[in-house]
Structure 1
């Protein structure tokens, strides 16, 4: 664990940041902490204002050999103070910003070959900005740092700092991190599968992007047909609670995630310097179900319900066509299964 990542997460969850609500002194302090950490990491960040937030994103650019880019983003805001309590937001989403910093430091020290990299700490992801279309990521997509058609991959992180499941789950389960959206761009699913378990401490599991509502920073890019990858471990029992504090984070998993993401970014930068085709109608329910089968199988020794879940997932998997898609309306069943699993493992 690098001292800098832990330090940034601690600052973002400090009383000075007071929950990091946009447009407040705490939000300003959080943005200043991100800017300072990026500069220390060898990056040159700037702060484009976001109208409607009374605040700003934090963007750093690492030029490449070609004028095409990979964007890595995570939101740094949280809920602030409610009813006299501070909502610290360690997992949501200080942990992801810490990982963003780690990746940025590594890429600044040794530039990737091929594409350049945009590093974005977005403001204003939390309510009400999502429903009011005032999110920092939405503003960026409308007013991008580089032309949007030169961004070949957008990677968003949200809720990536916790062990998947309660204490005592097998490592095969707890180290899970889900990658949504691989089915929306040519070659990305195969790329993720090839390196899914290459970093000890984290296991990347693919799932179709439509398995959950698109409630994070990748939405604006999906809407504009930019290939995207969304990394998440889902909601823990501390989600949007004052108990979401740094000591509950899975620091080894976070560091493993940073190593994995650095590798994925470098390899994506090195792909042939042409647009990655966006597959608007791409579906891969089979990937979701295979991930669920693997998790429920690993849980069977500690959960009497896991076998039922595995049987359901395997039955649905048998319904998939050769492209990996379930026939309508069966995708609803897959979503329900994911929801039940998230609830049981929170």
Structure 2
């Protein structure tokens, strides 16, 4: 991971300020010497903020299995010319190139159609509200990952889905409901997660100053989001453990019943027993494969009673044999 030709932020900023026309060429030369991810910047981010953006690029590269390059520009610079670097850098498939001045975004991903990429960008901007550029870049990266996963017919895991949608302000119940919708349909209730340059302008308020001024607030917001994610994961981990423990009893009952069912085929209530067993087994599978929510734990407790009813029917049939 490198950030603009190895110069300190002030020097890099001065160089780009004097070479406005040649800036895309400078970014090209720098990114040609990076690995799977890289950040070229002309906004003078300090080391901590630069590292944060580099981490976002590296994380996106790892998730999509391709390159992820970000180019951060001053507010008065147009990101559109930088979109042409995608082909010149021999990027293709799932490789991602994002150029932005904090208010306009040029996004290139060969594996996504223009419509799919526009939808991902629009969702990121719509969900981020007044979030500033760096956390918005994080949200955009998550949306692009979602879109690329969808094109591959791949569903995100529960933890990946939570991480990808952490910036949307959903509570635990909403997150679980959206995940169930996503598993069934491939998109959330807010719109399809679809499957090339695009510039998405963001209306600039008088108090907004692009990357530099809002970088610190971006770090604060990202830290708060990180805490929220940690708390949710801890809560979900506790719910997951409780759900697993609650399901142990019905799972054991059903396993014992099915292993000792030989000889009961002629019993007059065998059909009812099988229906009850199948219904209970299907609910067990759904709960084991679903998200660990409070509702799931409640259903698991109710399933204990159903499993006990299956056991009683089985015992009665055994005694009558």
Greater percentage in strand: 1
Relative contact order higher in (CA < 8 Å, ≥ 6 apart): 1
Q: Do the two structures share a fold, i.e. TM-score over 0.5?
A: no
TM-score computed with the length of structure 1 as normaliser: 0.30
Greater percentage in helix: 2
Query: Which of the pair has more CA radius of gyration?
Result: 2
